[in-house]
Structure 1
Amino acid sequence: MLLFDARTARALATVLLYALALLFIYFAWHTLVTFLFAIMFAYLLEPAVSGLQHRARLSRGHAVLTIYILISVAIGLFFAVFGPQILRQAGRLSDSLPALMHRITSGELLQQIARLRHWNPQTEQRVQQFLASHQHEISGWILEMLSAFASVGRNIIWVLLVPVLAIFFLLSGGRFAQAILDQLDRLRQRSFVRDLLQDMHDVLANYIRIQIILAVLTLLVYVGGFVAFRIPYAVALGVATGLLDFIPIVGPLIGAVTVLAVAFFSGYPYVIFVALFIGAWRLFMDYYLSPRMFGHRVQLHPLAVLFGVLAGAEIAGIIGVYLSVPILAILRAAWTRWRTFQGERSIILPSSTPPPPPPIEPAS
């Protein structure tokens, strides 16, 4: 008598395969995330590479090399023009943080702000009590932000691998997809997988390109606005806030809070106007510009986006927040394509119920 029948053995093998897959994802998490970001970076560069390849009649390899050289030159020019000012302001901001924390905890900064804003003694006392009772939370929040930046520095090797791996996807991305299709025997299966890969391609390409455009536009608006408002460390804060805009929902919130906190604790007198400026830009971009640019490309409800961002933050932190929206969009596209495939299959397959016999005509 067999210990397991064939059906039980198949079920156990399936469970074992899923467990091994989860273990692989857990232990190879950094590698998988690096490859995902490399794919996104390749999607970002694909239009420029294809356009240069066809217009200049270059080989694929020469087109990729030319684009990388142009990107390196553009980054070099940017840092040559703005780099010294950004580094100088970032250095001044980091050097002033210990003294700023001492002035906050000692109450000296609060007294200065109270004099500038003509607070009455009761308001000053309430704010002082609030800061004193939440001193540990404020210090912990600042240390958390510093540790997050430190973790980016520790993982810099993975960040540097992204553009290197993207070269392979740019050179051989089409062959990877064709290799997947070659593993399928049936024509309808090939058609389904080909359409699914095309949907994934469209979702990722549209999401990455529009996200980059919105982030660059936000960076330019914030830098220009902060310089016009004469905010302390305007260029450094504008660049940091623009880069944080890559992270959906959470990134703009962190950037706005950081800018307002630095402006407030630096004694800047027009914090309310800066808050109105940031709020007006977010309303314009989130409720007018961004929906018009995305249109029906990603096709996700705002509540679905918010759920994905929060769930991604719980599962994988900042990386989960960033990857949540494209993953949700891909899952939605896959589900829609699968339903279409099943509907076509039900039409093509013959019905299991035999057709009724034709009516018998009475004899004349």
Structure 2
Amino acid sequence: MFGIDARTARVVWTAALVIAGLYGVFLVRTTLLVMLIAVLFSYLIYPLFVLAQRVAGGRVPRTLLLCLVYLVVVGLVALAVGLFGNTVAEQATALAQQLPTLLDPATLERRLPLPHLLEPLRARLAAFLRDLLQGGSAEAMPFVRNIGYGLVHLAGNLIYVVVVPILSFLMILQAHVFDELLVAMRHRRNGAFWTDVLHGLNALLSSYVRALALLSLATLLAYGLVLSLMRVPFALLLAGVAAVLEVIPVLGPLVAAAAIVGVALFSGYEHVGWIILFIGGYRVFQDYMLSPWLMSEGVDVPPILVVFGLLAGEELAGVAGIFLSVPFLAALRMFVVQMRLHRTKVTTPPTSGDANVL
């Protein structure tokens, strides 16, 4: 009718719906990001909630028990802030005040700590660092400006600090509904595939978020303790920065190491070599022993894809894109693996033994 092919019309209509859906997602991207952060936060709280349920033995209502878990978490955070918050704030203020002096090229040669073997090269090394600072300052300014804009934007959205725990609280209370939905979905068409995908995604995010939290905590404790014992300037502040950057795979630890060594070097710290040895040894332990033990195989993403995901995520969504790029790539990898497994099950003919059982 009217010379319109029905198949072509369906294709055009489907494409229009997909485009409209993507545009709708773009319009509510901030809300979706908040929801996703709430989901990730839920994975941190849920193990404590399950442990509390086992201890309570069903004698305490779920809502009350979850409130107690949240109070314990908030209390621990408040205790940590009370013990170390003032020291970190003082070190951050002192570093901000001393930064122009530390980066002053005129006094760099005199302040540069070098072993006796490198003393003849002091002038050349100081000239190299001076040129590096002067040449990189112009390129660093746009980056610093972008960080400033990001902090201003974050300050205008501090309401999310309250919204995210509330959403996470409601999600944990309704976790049993998700389990019931998976059971009902399995009996529908392609239900087994989507059930396995959702189970795999749940296990992946659970492993990834909890592993990141433990790795960041381990970095904070190790760097804070060792750098403080070594009397490195601004030790707790640098340890906190390293713990935060730990959530960015590959590039985060490199940036943290460069920041720690750079601050120690420009501050005139005399044992920079020991700092480098400590960071190198800790990265070997973290990357090849602790991280593989905490991370499941489903989070295993090749390093080249991690770097690509970080760069692409920063271009698409800034800091949030950097943080979410690796779990997104891991989820995509898990989806492809599930597709292959289910396709193999469909295409593999039953054996004679299976036929006798049926």
Name the SS for the 1:51 alignment partner. Answer: helix
Verify the 8 A CA contact 1:248 1:321 in the aligned structure 2.
no
Verify the 8 A CA contact 1:42 1:166 in the aligned structure 2.
yes
Verify the 8 A CA contact 1:309 1:324 in the aligned structure 2.
yes
- Relative to 1, partners in 2 of residues 1:67 and 1:232: Cα closer, same or farther, differing over 3 Å? same
Verify the 8 A CA contact 2:220 2:242 in the aligned structure 1.
yes
- Relative to 1, partners in 2 of residues 1:150 and 1:283: Cα closer, same or farther, differing over 3 Å? farther
Aligned to 2:257: 256
- Relative to 1, partners in 2 of residues 1:127 and 1:82: Cα closer, same or farther, differing over 3 Å? closer
Aligned to 1:172: 174
CA distance in 1, matches of 2:340, 2:113: 66
Aligned to 2:12: 12
Asked if 1:39 is matched to 2:39, the reply is yes
Name the SS for the 2:233 alignment partner. Answer: coil
Output one character per residue of 1:170-228: Cα deviation in whole Å (capped at 9) or x when no partner: 0113314544765x595453332222211111111111111111111011001011101
- Relative to 1, partners in 2 of residues 1:147 and 1:232: Cα closer, same or farther, differing over 3 Å? farther
Verify the 8 A CA contact 1:181 1:193 in the aligned structure 2.
no
Structure with the greater alpha carbon radius of gyration: 1
CA distance in 1, matches of 2:303, 2:210: 19
Asked if 1:132 is matched to 2:130, the reply is no
Name the SS for the 1:4 alignment partner. Answer: coil
Q: What is the correspondence of 1:85-96 to structure 2 with a 5 Å cutoff?
A: 85-96=87-98
Q: What is the correspondence of 1:36-185 to structure 2 with a 5 Å cutoff?
A: 36-56=36-56, 57=58, 58-97=60-99, 99-100=100-101, 104-105=103-104, 107-114=105-112, 118=119, 120-176=122-178, 178-179=180-181, 182=184
- Relative to 1, partners in 2 of residues 1:129 and 1:73: Cα closer, same or farther, differing over 3 Å? closer
Asked if 1:216 is matched to 2:217, the reply is yes
Aligned to 1:356: none
Shift of 1:166: 0.6
Asked if 1:29 is matched to 2:29, the reply is yes
Shift of 1:94: 2.4
Between 1:155-164 and 1:70-79, the stretch displaced more is 155-164
- Relative to 1, partners in 2 of residues 1:95 and 1:340: Cα closer, same or farther, differing over 3 Å? same
Output one character per residue of 1:327-360: Cα deviation in whole Å (capped at 9) or x when no partner: 22222222222223233334579xxxxxxxxxxx
CA distance in 2, matches of 1:199, 1:126: 51
Between 1:137-146 and 1:53-62, the stretch displaced more is 137-146
Shift of 1:295: 4.8
Q: Once the two structures are aligned, what percentage of the paired residues are identical? A: 30
Q: TM-score if structure 1 supplies the norm length?
A: 0.84
Q: What is the correspondence of 1:244-283 to structure 2 with a 5 Å cutoff?
A: 244-283=245-284
Output one character per residue of 1:275-332: Cα deviation in whole Å (capped at 9) or x when no partner: 2222221122112321233253434334443333333233323222221222222222
Name the SS for the 2:264 alignment partner. Answer: helix
Verify the 8 A CA contact 1:53 1:59 in the aligned structure 2.
no
Shift of 1:68: 0.3
Output one character per residue of 1:241-291: Cα deviation in whole Å (capped at 9) or x when no partner: 112212222222222222222222222222232222222211221123212
Verify the 8 A CA contact 2:114 2:122 in the aligned structure 1.
no
Give the AA of the match of 1:165: L
Size of the aligned set, in residue pairs, is 344
Name the SS for the 2:4 alignment partner. Answer: coil
Q: What is the correspondence of 1:230-309 to structure 2 with a 5 Å cutoff?
A: 230-309=231-310
CA RMSD across the alignment: 2.7
